[in-house]
Amino acid sequence: MPALVFLGYRWGISSDDFVFPTLAELLLQVPWIGVLVACYIVNQSKLGCDTGDNIKLFYFGTLFLDCIYFITTVAVIWMSMRGTITNSQPRRRMWLILLIKVLVYLTELVWICLSTYWIFGNELTCDTTTVWVARGALIWSWFVRFLKFVWNVTVFSPWTKYEPVSEFPRDLGRSAIRVAGLGPQAISLWEQSVKRLFCCYSDHHDNHEAFKELGAIAAEYFNLDLVLSDIVAGLVLVMKRQMDDEGSLQEVRILNPMRNPSFRASAESRDLPRPKEWMTISNMAYYMRYAIAAYGSVTYVGRNPCCGTCRICCKSRCCMNTGPFVVNVFHDDRCQSNTEALKNWTNLTDDDLIYISFRNKNRDTPFFVAVDHSKNAVVVAVRGTWFSRDSQDVLDDDESGYGRIMDVTGVYNAYCHTALLDKAYFVLDRLNNMEILEAAFGKLNADAKLVITGHGLGSGVAAVLSIILREQYPQLMCYAFSPMGACVSPNLSKYTQQFICSPTLGADMIVRTTLATFSKLRLSLVQALLQIDMPKYQIMAKGWLRYLYCCCLLQSSAEYDRQLLSARLGPLYTEEEPLVQVCGLAETLQEAETEARNSGIIVWPLKPPGQLLHIVETDESTGCCTCSPAHHAYWTGAGTFDKIIMSSSMITDHMPGKLLHALEKMRDSEVEPI
pLDDT of residue 285: 96
Write the pLDDT tens digit of every residue in 61-100.
Answer: 999 999 999 999 999 999 999 988 888 889 989 989 999 9
pLDDT of residue 571: 43
State the average pLDDT over residues 261-288. 76
Does 248 fall in a domain? no
- 340 and 488 part of one domain: yes
Mean pLDDT of the chain: 78
Does 170 fall in a domain? no
Does 553 fall in a domain? no
At 222, the pLDDT band (50, 70, 90 cuts) reads low
Q: How far is Cα 587 from Cα 590, in angstroms, rounded to an integer? A: 5
State the average pLDDT over residues 499-503. 97
- 431 and 319 part of one domain: yes
CB 43 within 8 A of CB 134: yes
Q: Which domain holds residue 213?
A: 178-225
What phi and psi, each to the nearest 5 degrees, are found at residue 569? -100, 105
- 210 and 303 part of one domain: no
- 378 and 434 part of one domain: yes
Question: Please, what sign has the CA dihedral across residues 8, 14, 16, 22?
Answer: negative
Does 494 fall in a domain? yes
Does 238 fall in a domain? no
Could you give the C-alpha distances from 591 to 150, 182, 405, 586, 594, in angstroms and in order? Answer: 43, 18, 30, 9, 5
- 333 and 206 part of one domain: no
- Residue 452, pLDDT > 90, answer yes
- 126 and 260 part of one domain: no
Write the pLDDT tens digit of every residue in 645-664.
Answer: 888 788 889 999 999 999 99
Looking at 159, 193, 211, which one is the last position of a domain?
A: 159
More confident site: 203 or 634: 634
Q: How far is Cα 215 from Cα 184, in angstroms, rounded to an integer? A: 10
- 113 and 205 part of one domain: no
Looking at 159, 187, 216, which one is the last position of a domain?
A: 159
- 196 and 261 part of one domain: no
pLDDT of residue 443: 93
Write the pLDDT tens digit of every residue in 261-272.
Answer: 334 444 455 678
Does 84 fall in a domain? yes
Does 359 fall in a domain? yes
- 475 and 620 part of one domain: yes
pLDDT of residue 627: 54
- 143 and 190 part of one domain: no
pLDDT of residue 587: 53
At 273, the pLDDT band (50, 70, 90 cuts) reads confident
At 12, the pLDDT band (50, 70, 90 cuts) reads confident
Choice among 367-371, 404-408, 466-470, 569-573 with the minimum mean pLDDT: 569-573
- 358 and 485 part of one domain: yes
Choice among 186-195, 224-233, 294-303 with the minimum mean pLDDT: 186-195
pLDDT of residue 331: 82
Nearest CA among 360, 363, 371, 364 for reference residue 338: 360
Which residues are CB-neighbours of 522 under 8 A, at least 6 positions away? 221, 222, 589
Does 592 fall in a domain? no
More confident site: 430 or 571: 430
Beta bridge partners of 355: 369
pTM (2 decimals)? Answer: 0.78
pLDDT of residue 219: 64
pLDDT of residue 127: 84
- Residue 308, pLDDT > 80, answer no
- 281 and 335 part of one domain: yes
In the chain, the number of structural domains is 3
CATH at 311: 3.40.50.1820
Could you give the C-alpha distances from 505 to 137, 430, 614, in angstroms and in order? Answer: 55, 32, 6
